[in-house]
C-alpha cells in the first residue's frame, strides 16, 4: 500500500519571517496527522528557518531545485549536499516552471535525480504536457518521453524511492483542474511507463502525485483515484488552512 504524500511547493513566495509564520501555522494545523506524508518546500533562503520549526514534527522539508554536481564553479547554484545539510529529505526536480523559464531538460532532470538519490534525497520529478500539446493529442507521447528520460538508468532501490508529480501545465495556477478521470488516465499511463523503465513491482511502489489547481474542494475526489497518491500543491499551500484541508482530504 503506497502512503499518500502531499507537498506544498511555495515557489518564489514568502520572506523568511513569512515562511516561519506559515510553517508554524501548518505544523499546528496538522499536529497528529501521521497517515499522510507531508512535505513543505520553501525557497532556499527559508529552508533553515522552516527546517528548525519542523524539527521534531512529522512534516518533512523539501527544496525546489538543486544542481547535480557536488561542488565547484557553478555560480548561483546549490548542491545536493547543501540541500541535505539543511535538513531536506525531498527535492522537487524538473518543475514545468523550471523547464519553461530556465530551459531545464529531461537530461538535466535525470542527472539531478541520480545526484539527489546519491545524496540521500528523495526526488519529486515533475512531468506534464502543455495545453497546446494536449490539444494536439500529444499528452501520452510527451509524458512518456519525460518519464522515460528523466528516470533512465536509476538502480531499482533508488527508483522505488522516487516520487513522480504529474502536473499538466495548463492546470497550474489557472484554476482549471484536470478532472479526476483525466488525471487518473495519465497517472495510469505513467505507471505503465514506470513498469517499462524499471519493472512492474517497482512501478507499483512509486508514488505519483497530481498537481495543478488542487484546492480543498477538489482534493478528495482526485486523491481517491487508484493511481493518484497525493498532490503537489502551489497556490493553496500558501495558506495554512487550505493546505491542511487538502492534506486531510488524503487521509
Does position 91 interact with ligand 13P (CB under 6 A)? The reply is no
Which lies closer to ligand 13P via its Cβ, residue 202 or residue 240?
240
232 sits near ligand 13P (criterion: CB under 6 A): yes
Q: Which is nearer to ligand 13P, 91 or 172 (CB)?
A: 172
Beta bridge pairs of residue 123: 91
Residue from 38, 187, 235, 246 binding ligand 13P (CB under 6 A): 235
Residue 189: closest CA among 141, 132, 134, 126? 141
Given 37, 104, 129, 167, the catalytic residue: 167
214 touching ligand 13P, by CB under 6 A: yes
**According to CB under 6 A, which one of 65, 79, 213, 218 is a site residue for ligand 13P?**
213
CA gap 204, 120 in Å, rounded:
21
DSSP per position, 146-205: HHHHHTTT--HHHHHH-EEEE--GGGTTSS-PPPHHHHHHHHHHHHHHHHHHS-HHHHHH
Smaller CB distance to ligand 13P: residue 79 or 96?
Answer: 96
Given the residues 37, 95, 97, 187, select the one marked as catalytic.
95
Q: Which residues pair with 126 in a beta bridge?
A: 165
Question: Would you say 231 and 210 are in contact if contact means Cβ atoms under 8 Å apart?
Answer: yes
Distance between CA atoms of residues 192 and 170, nearest Å: 23
Active-site residue flag, 95: yes
State in angstroms the smallest separation of the CB of 201 from ligand 13P: 28
Smallest separation (angstroms) from ligand 13P to the CB of 215: 8
Residues near ligand 13P (CB under 6 A), total: 14
Helices and strands (H and E) in the chain: how many: 12, 8
Which residues are CB-neighbours of 53 under 8 A, at least 6 positions away? 20, 23, 24, 27
Contact with ligand 13P (CB under 6 A) among 207, 212, 230, 243: 212
The one-character DSSP state at 1 is -
167 binds ligand 13P (CB under 6 A): yes
Q: Which is nearer to ligand 13P, 67 or 95 (CB)?
A: 95
**Closest CB to ligand 13P among residues 95, 187:** 95
Which spans of this chain sit near ligand 13P (rule: CB under 6 A)? 9, 95, 167, 172-173, 211-214, 232-236
Catalytic residues: 95, 167
Amino acid at each position: 500500500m503506497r502512503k499518500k504524500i502531499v507537498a506544498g511547493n511555495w515557489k518564489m513566495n514568502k520572506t523568511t519571517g513569512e515562511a516561519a509564520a506559515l510553517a508554524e501555522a501548518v505544523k499546528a494545523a496538522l499536529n497528529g496527522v501521521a497517515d499522510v506524508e507531508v512535505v513543505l518546500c520553501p525557497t532556499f533562503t527559508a529552508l533553515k528557518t522552516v527546517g528548525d520549526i519542523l524539527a521534531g514534527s512529522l512534516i518533512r522539508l523539501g527544496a525546489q531545485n538543486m544542481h547535480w554536481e557536488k561542488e565547484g564553479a557553478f555560480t548561483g547554484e546549490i548542491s545536493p549536499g547543501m540541500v541535505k545539510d539543511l535538513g531536506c529529505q525531498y527535492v522537487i526536480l524538473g518543475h514545468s516552471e523550471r523547464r519553461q523559464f530556465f530551459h531545464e531538460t529531461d537530461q538535466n532532470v535525470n542527472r539531478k535525480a541520480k545526484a539527489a538519490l546519491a545524496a540521500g534525497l528523495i526526488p519529486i520529478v515533475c512531468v506534464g504536457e502543455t495545453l497546446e500539446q494536449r490539444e494536439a493529442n500529444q499528452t501520452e507521447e510527451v509524458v512518456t518521453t519525460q518519464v522515460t528520460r528523466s528516470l533512465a538508468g536509476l538502480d531499482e532501490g533508488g527508483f522505488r524511492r522516487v516520487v513522480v508529480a504529474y502536473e499538466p501545465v495548463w492546470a497550474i495556477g489557472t484554476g482549471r483542474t484536470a478532472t479526476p478521470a483525466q488525471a487518473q488516465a495519465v497517472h495510469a499511463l505513467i505507471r505503465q511507463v514506470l513498469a517499462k523503465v524499471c519493472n512492474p513491482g517497482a512501478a507499483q511502489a512509486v508514488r505519483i502525485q497530481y498537481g495543478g489547481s488542487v484546492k480543498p474542494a477538489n482534493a478528495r475526489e482526485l486523491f481517491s483515484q487508484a493511481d493518484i497518491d497525493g498532490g503537489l500543491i502551489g497556490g493553496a499551500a500558501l495558506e495554512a488552512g487550505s493546505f491542511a484541508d487538502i492534506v486531510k482530504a488524503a487521509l
